[in-house]
Amino acid sequence: METVISTLIVAALIILAVVGLSQTSLSAQSTIAQSTGLMQERAGDRARTSLTAVSAQTTPLGDAVQITLKNTGSTKLATFNEWDVILQYSDGTSNHAQWYSFGSGVNQWSEQLYQVVPTPEAIDPGIFDPGEEMVVTVNVSPAVGIGTTNVAVVSAPNGITASAIFQH
């Protein structure tokens, strides 16, 4: 009788352990499946996104750089505060490599969307739709030096980049 009770207790503990481990395993598999789905969605989004640098130039004083991009993919882009803009330029005496935040102040960048420059966008305002052009204006300090060759890189939140070389 004593062995039967001991056996029942041990069997119950084993069953509880197996059920607990099974539930943990199923939960882990569910998490992995969700992560895989998100990875595939992100990869698909990247595959459908394409940016092309149309042109890049400085203003006459060299205090701003204007980069014209075209959305040549099929993905609509927005959330410009999540974009990255990096310039590597010379002011004539020293070199600068800097990331710029989104805004309209000094050492910040802003955007203006167009159907095709200079025709302002009319459909989906504030969304960088496929086929549209966007002018990124980077206000720099110190100014870009005359006679220098420089590089601009713009990256969308999903990691797709476009780069352009510009001179002043």
pLDDT digits (tens, 9 = 90+) for 70-93: 999 999 999 999 999 999 999 999
Give me the residue spans of the domains in the chain: 1-47, 51-167
* Residues 65, 67: Cα–Cα separation, whole Å: 7
Distance CA 168, CA 166 (A): 7
Q: How far apart are CA 51 and CA 12, in angstroms?
A: 62
Q: Give, for 118, the enclosing helix (H) or strand (E).
A: none
Name which CATH class applies to 51-167.
mainly beta
CB 156 within 8 A of CB 77: yes
pLDDT at 141: 96
Which tens digit of pLDDT belongs to each residue from 106-145? 999 999 999 888 888 888 899 999 999 999 999 999 999 9
